[in-house]
Structure 1
Amino acid sequence: MQSTPTVKLNRATMMFPLALVLFEFSVYIGNDLVQPAMLAITQDFGVSSSWAPSSMSFYLLGGACVAWLLGPLSDRFGRKKVLLSGVLFFAITCFLILLTNRIESFLVLRFLQGFGLSVITAVGYAAIQETFDERDAIKVMALMANVSLLAPLLGPVLGAFMIDHVSWHWGFIGIAILTIFSWFGLKAKMPDPKISIPKQPIRYMVDDFKKVLMNKKFLALTLALPLVSMPLMLWIALSPVMLVEYLGLSSMQYGLAQFPVLGGLILGNIVLLKIVDRLALGKTILIGLPLMLIGTLILVCGAIWQEHFIICLILGMTLVSFGEGMSFSVLYRFALMSSDVAKGTVAAVVSVLLMLSFFIFLELGRMLYELFHIWAYSLICFIFIIIWFTLPRLSLKNVMNDRVKEGLF
């Protein structure tokens, strides 16, 4: 396996992650700005509001369907070439969606825009993990998460503004312009190490995928990622329907309700940055997940005592997002490094499993919510966190014990 020399985190080396996070912000706000506008978009297309969550589902499905190819391609041709091509493709699809006039063509282009998610996870994140030392890579991922979280914080407010004052089309124009700026930044600042990689037949790529997927430790750690992420993903997908249609909040009140929830995620990432050097790597996950479990229990209480649902919903989701902030970056690092196959291929498998899980469970959550409303949302979040405390937690403890035996902190 080829490896690249790592660098220390400093002002000069930080320019590449900043350029990447601008693209990450563009891709994420491509969801978070569009979701609150989906009620208006479905009205424009003359279809039911039940189509609204499908915009996010198809976005994630697009990310899942191409990751398997982008990772190995970046191993073979270099991360920079593949990343720059993916960024440009995302910008083009943002412009093309302006020409749609049917929900079906809109969702096709949302699917194609979802490729940008894989460009980040299968190529960009792999480049970050290879460029920086272990703990610096985790810090960079947490810092990037905090910057990219401006998307779900600003997205609902901007989406509400678009609904009230301008057309939703302007959102995609702004996203495309941001993406073009990130392309120039990545072209200038992304490292492009010249490593000789043997041109192997396609069957070697298939063998690499098999090797990754047969690694039980990898599967346990990777499948733990959607368990940790799904409650917040469901919040982003269903909160427009829950808060606006079910609870009767205005578009602006809906936007403001995102601040404590997503602020919890930012705070969790900040705490991770502060304590990651002081604790054994993985300890923050063992702190964060019990907090997430408490948060989901509060959601269930809100479903039982529905007169307090809005308070329980905001408080519970804030705890859930705080715990995720403390946990996700470390868990992602463990999953990516649990296989010795080339990191582009490993990151591709992580991305495919993650995005497919998101698509399946978001669509399932949407259908269950139509039948059982807030009970479905609360119980799904609770069940995901409970499942984490089975095999994924055991796998994490095994990894931490192995690190102790190897003398790693």
Structure 2
Amino acid sequence: MQRIIQFFSQRATTLFFPMALILYDFAAYLTTDLIQPGIINVVRDFNADVSLAPASVSLYLAGGMALQWLLGPLSDRIGRRPVLIAGALIFTLACAATLLTTSMTQFLVARFVQGTSICFIATVGYVTVQEAFGQTKAIKLMAIITSIVLVAPVIGPLSGAALMHFVHWKVLFGIIAVMGLLALCGLLLAMPETVQRGTVPFSAVSVLRDFRNVFRNPIFLTGAATLSLSYIPMMSWVAVSPVILIDAGGMSTSQFAWAQVPVFGAVIVANMIVVRLVKDPTRPRFIWRAVPIQLSGLATLLLGNLLLPHVWLWSVLGTSLYAFGIGMIFPTLFRFTLFSNNLPKGTVSASLNMVILTVMAVSVEVWPLAVVSRRETAVSPAGSGGRGDCGLHPGDTITARAPA
């Protein structure tokens, strides 16, 4: 018995804490990815306008920004452990509350609260990983965490589409609530404390001073701008693709789910390359080598849609190439930006996440507005004829439909 206790105590930080954090992060991703194929059903169940569908994502991101300013400095002063554990509890309760929603407004409020999980995970959880492990190990561990968590955008739409043939969409949030509860238990048992409590008093003056010093650091500003702007194409795809492919393009939920696989699969492959093949991911030259991949993806996306408009294959291919480049640079660039100064890392992480999430939330709102404004010339599958599916297959085109 003593050997078993010793085994678990020795591996609590190195194994079980990352596992609990991954489960928490994975569940947070699933609240968006599992429900995305059925978000149109959610809107219709509540008799709401379909233009509110992207708000499920944008309000989730808004929740992710709401507490950044507080949680970073708070975790610097009272410790990482109590803050992250409280976040896991709030997330679990918010997912369970979705089962009781009776209107679109209530659903969106629950999504906002669920989004606060981003604050806790990114501002406190990821910083704890960086502080608990050495530089190279932390970068590779972050790549592993990202790879596993990003299975959610791959299997989430597929699983969600399949499950919604048998159960109501609210059941999916019940499943996620159970996952959140398991993650909470894991954090309670295995999460280490990486800061000394009470060394810095919590006051508005000290918090504002720390934030001011962070935003005066040019290296931090460069890293934050690079990371945030890099995520615009990815988040635009997450928010807009259901409207384009399902509501306007006529794809079934399963076809839509399969269209997500190459995009998020590319990020996973890139992270695995960082873990397995790159001996020293801490070198700045490594970041520069990933830039041409991102540019190639953007070129494919833009030129493909200009030369062959309304062919959805170009959107998937270009976004996938771009996603591969993101997966290559994120773990390294995140650590470089986080350790660009000697300020408390909770505050630095909060500042970084506020910049990233602000840019992402704006991009999620801007693109859907552009798409919805063109709904009068919405697209329909070409050549579907009498087929039972939507008629969209690789290489098929989507043509404009006259307004009703």
TM over 0.5: yes
Aligned pairs for 1:247-258 (under 5 A) are: 247-258=249-260
* 1:164 maps to 2:165: yes
CA shift, 1:314, in A, is: 2.0
Question: Distance in 2 between the 1:79 and 1:318 partners?
Answer: 35
2:53 aligned counterpart, secondary structure: helix
- Paired with 1:218 and 1:236, the residues of 2 have a C-alpha distance of 27
Alignment partner of 1:232 out of 234, 247, 258: 234
How many residues in Structure 1 have an aligned counterpart in Structure 2? 365
* CA-based RMSD: 1.9
* Alpha carbons 2:132, 2:194 under 8 Å: kept: no
CA separation of 1:302/1:345 partners in 2, compared to 1, >3 Å: closer, same or farther?
Answer: same
Compare 48-57 and 285-294 and name the one that shifted more: 285-294
Deviation larger for 140-149 or 283-292: 283-292
Q: Which residue identity lines up with residue 214 of structure 1 in the other structure?
A: R
Superposition pairs of residues 207-286 of structure 1, within 5 angstroms: 207-278=209-280, 281-286=283-288
The answer (yes or no) to whether the contact 2:220–2:337 under 8 Å persists in 1 is yes
1:66 aligns with 2:67: yes
- Taking the TM superposition and a 5 Å limit, the aligned residue runs for 1:4-403 are 13-193=14-194, 195-196=196-197, 197-278=199-280, 281-306=283-308, 309-371=311-373
What is the CA–CA distance in structure 2 between the aligned matches of 1:272 and 1:175, rounded to whole Å?
29
Runs of 4+ in 1 over 6 A off after TM superposition: 9-12
Note closer, same or farther for the CA distance 1:283–1:371 as it changes in structure 2 (3 Å cut).
farther
Distance across 2 between alignment mates of 1:165 and 1:129? 42
CA distance in 2, matches of 1:11, 1:76: 23
Alignment deviations for residues 257-312 of structure 1 (CA, whole Å, 9 cap, x no partner)? 11111111111111112343246623332122211111111111232233672221
Residue of structure 2 equivalent to 1:399? none
Which one has the largest radius of gyration? 2
- Per-residue deviation, 1:12: 6.3
Relative to structure 2, which stretch is displaced further, 133-142 or 219-228?
Answer: 219-228
TM norm structure 1: 0.85
In 1, the alpha carbon distance for the partners of 2:367 and 2:12 equals: 43
Question: In structure 1, what residue type is equivalent to 2:245?
Answer: L
| TM-score for the superposition, normalised by structure 2 | 0.86
Distance 2:195 2:13 in 1: 20
Query: Does the CA-based 8 Å contact 2:74-2:202 persist in structure 1?
Result: no
Structure 1 SS opposite 2:164:
helix
Structure 1 distance, partners of 2:307, 2:166, is: 37
Cα 1:95–1:259 change in 2 (3 A) is: same
2:394 alignment counterpart = none
Measured in 1, the distance between the counterparts of 2:82 and 2:194 equals: 12
Q: Secondary structure at the match of 1:178?
A: helix
Distance 1:201 1:11 in 2: 33
SS at structure 2 position matched to 1:13: helix
Q: CA-to-partner distance for each residue in 1:329-350, whole Å, 9 max, x for gaps? A: 1111111111211001111111
- Given residue 150 of structure 2, which amino acid in structure 1 is its aligned partner? L
Inter-partner Cα distance in structure 2 for 1:372 and 1:302: 20
Partner of 2:401: none
| CA positional deviation for 1:194 | 6.5
Task: Kindly indicate which of the two structures has a greater share of residues assigned to helix.
Answer: 1
Q: Any conservation in 2 of the 1:35–1:53 contact (CA below 8 Å)?
A: no
Partner of 1:380: none
Taking a change above 3 Å as real, the CA distance of residues 211 and 370 of structure 1, as seen in their structure-2 partners, is same
Question: Alpha-carbon deviation of 1:40?
Answer: 0.3
The runs of 5 or more residues in structure 2 that have no matched partner are 1-9, 376-404
Aligned 8 A contact 1:228 1:328 in 2: no
Distance 1:349 1:34 in 2: 29
Aligned sequence identity (%): 36
3-state DSSP of counterpart to 2:14? coil
* Residue of structure 2 equivalent to 1:392: none
Q: Distance in 2 between matches of 1:194 and 1:293?
A: 40
Give the SS at the match of 1:164: coil
- 2:128/2:194 contact within 8 Å kept: no
d(CA) in 2 for partners of 1:57, 1:14: 33
